[in-house]
Structure formats: C-alpha cells, structure tokens
Structure 1
Amino acid sequence: MPANMMENEAFTAFIFYGTLLVLKMYAVAIITGQVRLRKKAFANPEDALRRGGLQYHREDPDVERCLRAHRNDMENIYPFLFLGAVYSLLEPNPAVARIHFLVFFCGRITHTAAYLLKLRAPTRSVSYSIAQLPCFSMAAQILFGVIRHWC
C-alpha cells in the first residue's frame, strides 16, 4: 500500500476493521461447515454420499441458522466496505471515523453472536440497527461531499 494511504488515519482504521470483518465472515463460513459435519446435513448429494449416504442430503435448522447469519453478513458488510472506503478517502476526522468503524464492527460481532448462540430477542435486531447507524452517517456524508463538490 502506498505510504501516503497509510498516512490517512481514517483509511488505516477502515483497513483494520474491514479486515477483521472479512475474517469474521470466514469464521462464520467455517462454523457453518463444522455444523454441517456435526449434524450430518449436506447441501449436495455427492457430499452426503461421501459422509454416509443420501439420507444426509438434507436441511438442518442449525445449518440454516448459520447460513442466514452468513447471508446477513454479506448483505451488510459488503456495503460497509464500499461506504467505509469512500468515506475514509474523504479524510474525515480520524477519531470520528474510528467510532463509525468500531460501532459497525461491534454491532456485527454482537449480531453474529446473537444469531449463532440463539440469544434472546431483541438482541439481534438491536445490534443490527446499531450497526446501521454509522453506515447511514457515512452514506450521508459521502452524498453531501459529492453535492458540495458539484456545486
């Protein structure tokens, strides 16, 4: 990475939290695979045949829960990666940017824990909502920055 990009403290913070979020997504994928193996619930017939027979080509509620957690990550972390990158390139106040990224990160960690550990409602929906706040803030600041540039 060019040295001048690392001098942008907001971008450096974004790289840190963005990388942690991608690693978290990998962890959820690994957990999904482990749950499939433990529950013997395979999505593909060839995997079921290899692990004991076609009777294991089936759905399982715990595997489906993992898949929903992973899908929710994709629906939320990918937009964050775009918004966070563009926002950090606008060179916002580094402390404010770190707060944006930290709030999103903590919200997503809590959301995943609530999903996978079946925590009581409304833990998951509250953590989801909290994680959306910095995304809306970053999107608004990006749009205002573009509008200011055009005017």
Structure 2
Amino acid sequence: METESWLAYVWWSYILIVKMMIFTWYTGRLRVHRKVIHSESDRIFVAEPGVILDPTGGGHPDIDRIRSVHRSDLEIVLPFLIITLIWLETSVPPSAVKSVLRWFTFSRICHSLFYMEIIIVHQLIKIFISVLSYALVTYVAVSCILFYA
C-alpha cells in the first residue's frame, strides 16, 4: 500500500467520522431545542413544560430527518471505509484513491446538508448525490471483486 494513498484514506475517513459525530451531537441539541426526548431519563436536559416523549425516536419532522440522515451514513459510510481498506491493497493509483475518497466525502456531506434541509435544493440534486455515493461504493467493491476473483 502506498503511503500517499494511505494518508488520503486516513484524512478523508477522519472527515467522514467527524461529520457523523457532529450529527450525533446535533441530534441531541435538536431534541433539546424541539423539546422531544427519547426516554424519561432525558427529562433532566429539558426542564420546561410541553416536552414530547417519543420512545420510537422521532416526534418532530426535524428529528426524523436527522435520524434518517444518520442511519443512512451508518449504512453506507462504514461499509465504504471497510471496503476501501481492502481496495487500497489492490495497487490502485494514488490519484484514483484521492478522487474516489474526495468525491465520496463530498457527496455524503452534501447528502446530509440537503436532507436535513440546511441547504434547500431540488429533489433531483438529492437523488444525484445519493446515486453518486452509491456508485462510488459499488465501484470500489466491484474493483475488489475483480482483483481478487
């Protein structure tokens, strides 16, 4: 594995993981702001009246959106990081590694911002960004399969 490829992997993986951690923190802040708690023990964080207890996790459209974004990240980012480790062992040119990692990270950050409605865009752009991230995961996985087959 080339050092340049490994450094790119570490850097962009770090960005993706920090993004996921920020959204975890943001979920908590949003729950307090919207007064929607997940369990009785969370009442200590919201002392005001009118608190909504929703054990299923939602309770407000903003909460539902951020939970959906976070779940989507868990479903695609973590497998991507694992598959990419295997892909790096297939003697991929560093320029390809950097491009794939950069575009995947960009697509996941945009996906989060668009689906959280922090940045309002047309539905087709949301679909394109989602397809781009899935296409990159598919490319990495198929490259590994073809190399090791």
Q: What TM-score does the superposition give when structure 1 sets the normalisation length? A: 0.86
- 1:95 and 2:95 matched: yes
How far has the Cα of 1:54 moved from its partner? 8.0
How far has the Cα of 1:11 moved from its partner? 1.9
Aligned CA-pair RMSD: 1.8
Residue of structure 2 in register with 1:12 after alignment: 7
Q: Is the 8 A contact 1:48 1:54 kept in 2?
A: no
Give the aligned residue type for 1:66: I
Give the aligned residue type for 1:135: V
Give the aligned length.
Answer: 142
Q: Which runs of 4+ in 1 moved over 6 A?
A: none
**2-structure distance, mates of 1:106, 1:115:** 14
**1-structure distance, mates of 2:45, 2:30:** 16
Q: What TM-score does the superposition give when structure 2 sets the normalisation length? A: 0.87
How far has the Cα of 1:26 moved from its partner? 0.4
Higher helix share: 1
> Can you give the 5+ residue segments of structure 1 that lack an aligned partner in the other structure?
none
**2-structure distance, mates of 1:35, 1:54:** 15
Q: Is the 8 A contact 2:66 2:116 kept in 1?
A: yes
Q: 2:133 aligns with which of 131, 134, 143?
A: 131
Cα offsets for 1:86-135 (capped at 9, x unmatched): 11122310001111111111110110010112633122221111112221
Q: Is the 8 A contact 2:83 2:141 kept in 1?
A: yes
How far has the Cα of 1:25 moved from its partner? 0.2
> Can you give the 5+ residue segments of structure 2 that lack an aligned partner in the other structure?
none
The percentage of counterpart residues that share the same residue type is: 20
Residue of structure 1 in register with 2:145 after alignment: 143
Are the structure 2 counterparts of residues 127 and 50 from structure 1 closer, same or farther at C-alpha, using a change threshold of 3 Å?
closer
